[in-house]
Amino acid sequence: MTARILVVDDLPANVKLLEAKLTAEYYDVVTASGGEEALEVAAGSRPDIVLLDVMMPGIDGFETCRRLRADPKLAHLPVVMVTALSDVEDRVRGLEAGADDFLTKPVKDIALFSRVRSLIRLKTAMDELRLRQDTSAQLGISDSSLDNEKAVEGANVLLVDDHRGNVEKIARAADAGSYKLDVSTDAGAIEDTLAQTAYDLAIINLNLKGADGLRVASQIRSNEVSRGLPIIIISEEDDTERVAKALDLGVNDYLVRPIDANELTARIRTQIRRKRYQDQLRLHYRDSLNLALTDELTGLHNRRYFDVHFAAQREHSEESGKPIAILMMDIDRFKNVNDTYGHPVGDDVLKEIAQRLKMSVRQFDMVARIGGEE
């Protein structure tokens, strides 16, 4: 999966190193030497991901990230901060500024490429949903305004962990953030657990005592019910290869033990907010699709849906040799109803007839309004 990557660093040697690594993997690389230039390049070249150095003259990486997030056209651009800083406070500060993740210098190839692939997949999916939303808005069948800052309170979080220290720390974070936390120590019952509750986030210990954390993450991703559920894994500091594997499997984020409470809270909030925004996009798309295929007044299928459905039914009838029946109805003297009692009453008549028709046919029959009183 190729993509355009913006590399931002005030040291030419660092830029050249990352550029060489990414170009060798067939990514299209654009560069900037500072925060102001990065904002201009991002607006002009529309990259798919930004690798952003933190310590730069002028505006630093934190401020650059905040400005990217403030621009509606760039607000959803994945940002990875590349820094020599390893202090937890700096990671939390970066997350609050809108960063998606961090890479620590010197950057390891396996961490770099796995994180890039993961975020590009996420951006591709989000871009498609936003494109559908924009199309629906242009057609006038959906609201163009969406709340990107979804509230995170009341979320359902599933923790799959048998490490007591992790459970206690995450439970405290859940209480502070007003999340509902369910703890599962039985990885084998994960599918039953997911079937019982609609979760907003799953947190999985990569090093479970009685199961393989990667296998649990894979099960969640392959389950139709939980395929879109964001996943955070908990790993050990030296478990880079398994973290990279997890990201390739579709895991969204990771925490390294010992877990810092502030970083944990920030990452949970980021994932839940993103999940709820994606859910909102999907819901708007589903509603707009229904509007496009449904007659607004009567709730029946419209002419567009009828034409496609009838063509498919006719083809099926010809192939199977089974007959189909069509009843064409036109309400006589309907114009007199509108002229005598007014259009609102005429609308009520149409709605009542539509309801009676729907109640009078079988479940697999179809009633459609193909125009006016027809």
Q: Which residues are catalytic?
A: 373
Contact criterion met (CB below 8 Å) for 206 and 234: yes
Furthest C-alpha separation in the chain: 83
In the block, residue with structure tokens 């060798």: 24
Categorise residue 139: left if φ over 0, alpha if ψ from -120 to 50, beta otherwise. Answer: alpha
Contact criterion met (CB below 8 Å) for 255 and 264: yes
Tokens of 42: 């991002």
DSSP string, 93-150: HHHHHT--EEEESSPPHHHHHHHHHHHHHHHHHHHHHHHHHHHHHHTTSS-S---SS-
Q: Give the torsion sign (CA, 64, 67, 73, 78).
A: positive
Neighbours of 96 (CB within 10 A): 15
Contact criterion met (CB below 8 Å) for 53 and 107: no
Question: Helices 164-177 & 261-293, crossing angle to 10 degrees?
Answer: 60
Distances (CA, A) of 200 to 138, 220, 233, 257, 354: 30, 13, 15, 23, 39
CA gap 125, 103 in Å, rounded: 23
